[in-house]
């Protein structure tokens, strides 16, 4: 059914294409043919996307402040030091997630095609964020063992310099070799696994915009349990094996708590489910979802900063005690390669949307 544009009015769910509507949100829709300027102006108007935009756009500045705070510490070296390559990649992941999310909600009303592409990119940045987190976990939270020969050939020393006071433990030779094998296996497959899972999640989420729409919120939420589980492997290991500093467990549990709450909001569509139309502009579930996801990111950032602060290597200039420092390829290179793959996935799904729209137009002309 063709829709006549009303410049000064927002629309109800019956006046916009079905693919634009959200469950239990009855009003506050913008016409899906806004200009770039009109989209910018709508950020200051009461639409059902206004809160979605601001909850992540303002979060960018809060995150940036808390991120840069680490470089104000007295013992911190240059911001360009290789030690901080994973930290900056984590920043890239979070910044991309928050900024793209806010821009997707602001500009998705320019056209139906742009709407689809906006959210394809949104899903891609969420996946990239999980890899940014994995890089930070790998270099700052994953135990960095240095195996050195002990008193005789029957014992090895496992020295963990992850904390302010080094922990040295003696292992029988066979146990030490087994432990070394486990560490080698983890260090070989952890980051590649995180990247592979991120790509799978991107494809699955993009697919929910064209298929499985009835269960799209459940699928999009549950599909990111996999990258969370893979990325959090170093934390699970530390919590199980130890040693654990005083903040890791508390920050990680808070991080998990906010993620669970955000998932509940995203799947249940509370509170608008119980009162459709009342929360169309402010207070609907997606705004709470944004708030909770950002709180989880903030606790994650505090956890990573606390781990960095506990590392003795930077403060004591004993970089030689740690394994090789991060390199441009092992951090920025990984993130760049991942972004290229994600861009390819988005391009394929975008072309599918273009072809579907073209077929739909041809059918209308024929009829």
- The DSSP code sequence of 196-251 is HHHHHHHHHHHHTTTS-GGGHHHHHHHHTHHHHHHHTHHHHHHHHH----TTHHHH
Nearest to 255 by CA among 237, 271, 231: 231
- Predicted pLDDT at 150: 37
Q: Are 323 and 146 in contact (CB under 8 A)?
A: yes
Name the pLDDT band for 199 (thresholds 50, 70, 90): very high
List, as residue ranges, the binding site for Zn(2+).
Answer: 105, 286, 290
Pairing of the two strands 167-172 and 145-149: unpaired
Within a 10 A sphere around the Cβ of 170, how many other Cβ atoms?
A: 12
Taking 50 as the threshold, does the pLDDT of residue 40 lie above it?
yes
- Predicted pLDDT at 11: 93
Within a 10 A sphere around the Cβ of 236, how many other Cβ atoms?
A: 11
Tokens of 356: 């579907």
Pairing of the two strands 155-160 and 167-172: antiparallel
Q: Alpha carbon of 309 to those of 63, 75, 136, 323: distances in Å?
A: 18, 9, 13, 18
- Give the percent of the chain with pLDDT over 70: 78
Neighbouring-strand partners of residue 168: 159
Name the pLDDT band for 143 (thresholds 50, 70, 90): low
Taking 60 as the threshold, does the pLDDT of residue 263 lie above it?
yes
How confident is the model over 83-101, as a mean pLDDT? 96
Tally the C-alpha atoms within 13 A of residue 102's C-alpha that lie toward its C-beta.
Answer: 19
Pairing of the two strands 145-149 and 155-160: antiparallel
Q: Alpha carbon of 247 to those of 240, 243, 295, 296: distances in Å?
A: 15, 12, 16, 15
Tokens of 235: 């934390």
Name the pLDDT band for 161 (thresholds 50, 70, 90): very low
Question: Among 169-178, 207-216, 270-279, 353-362, which stretch is predicted with the lowest mean pLDDT?
Answer: 169-178
* pLDDT tens figures, 307-358: 888 775 444 443 444 445 789 999 999 999 999 999 999 999 999 988 887 7
List, as residue ranges, the binding site.
Answer: 105, 286, 290
Q: According to DSSP H, which parts of the chain are helical? A: 36-42, 50-68, 85-107, 112-136, 173-207, 216-223, 225-231, 233-241, 248-268, 285-310, 312-315, 334-366
Tally the C-alpha atoms within 13 A of residue 42's C-alpha that lie toward its C-beta.
Answer: 33
Name the pLDDT band for 255 (thresholds 50, 70, 90): very high
Taking 80 as the threshold, does the pLDDT of residue 98 lie above it?
yes
Judge residue 84's burial from the number of C-beta atoms within 10 Å of its C-beta, 0-12 exposed, 13-18 middle, 19 or more buried: buried
Within a 10 A sphere around the Cβ of 340, how many other Cβ atoms?
A: 9
Neighbouring-strand partners of residue 159: 146, 168
Nearest to 291 by CA among 252, 262, 270, 264: 262
- Predicted pLDDT at 159: 39
């Amino acid at each position: 059914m063709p829709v006549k544009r009303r410049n000064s009015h927002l629309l109800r769910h019956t006046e916009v294409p079905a693919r634009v509507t959200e469950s239990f949100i009855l009003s506050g829709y913008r016409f899906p043919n806004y200009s770039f300027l009109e989209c910018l102006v709508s950020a200051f108007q009461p639409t059902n996307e206004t809160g979605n935009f601001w909850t992540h756009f303002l979060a960018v500045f809060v995150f940036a402040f808390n991120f840069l705070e680490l470089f104000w510490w007295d013992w911190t070296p240059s911001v360009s030091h290789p030690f901080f390559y994973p930290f900056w990649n984590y920043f890239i992941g979070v910044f991309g997630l928050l900024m793209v999310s806010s821009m997707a909600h602001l500009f998705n009303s320019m056209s139906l095609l742009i709407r689809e592409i906006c959210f394809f990119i949104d899903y891609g940045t969420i996946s990239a964020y999980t890899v940014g987190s994995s890089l930070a976990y790998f270099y700052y939270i994953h135990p960095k063992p240095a195996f050195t020969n002990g008193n005789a050939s029957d014992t090895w020393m496992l020295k963990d310099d992850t904390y302010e006071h080094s922990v040295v433990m003696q292992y029988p030779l066979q146990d030490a070799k087994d432990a070394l094998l486990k560490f080698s296996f983890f260090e070989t497959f952890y980051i590649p696994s995180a990247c592979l899972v991120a790509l799978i999640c991107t494809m699955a989420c993009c697919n929910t915009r064209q298929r499985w729409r009835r269960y799209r919120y459940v699928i999009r939420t549950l599909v990111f349990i996999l990258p969370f589980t893979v990325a959090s492997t170093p934390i699970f290991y530390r919590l199980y094996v130890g040693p654990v500093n005083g903040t890791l467990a508390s920050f990680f549990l808070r991080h998990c708590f906010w993620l669970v709450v955000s998932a509940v909001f995203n799947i249940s569509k509370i509170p608008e489910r119980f009162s459709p139309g009342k929360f169309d502009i402010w207070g609907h579930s997606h705004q709470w979802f944004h708030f909770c996801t950002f709180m989880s990111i903030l606790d994650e950032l505090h956890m990573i900063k606390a781990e960095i602060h506990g590392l003795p290597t930077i403060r004591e200039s004993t970089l030689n005690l740690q394994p090789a420092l991060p390199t441009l390829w092992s951090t920025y290179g990984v993130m760049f390669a991942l972004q290229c793959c994600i861009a390819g996935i988005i391009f394929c799904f975008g072309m599918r949307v273009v072809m579907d729209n073209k077929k739909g137009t041809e059918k209308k002309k024929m009829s």
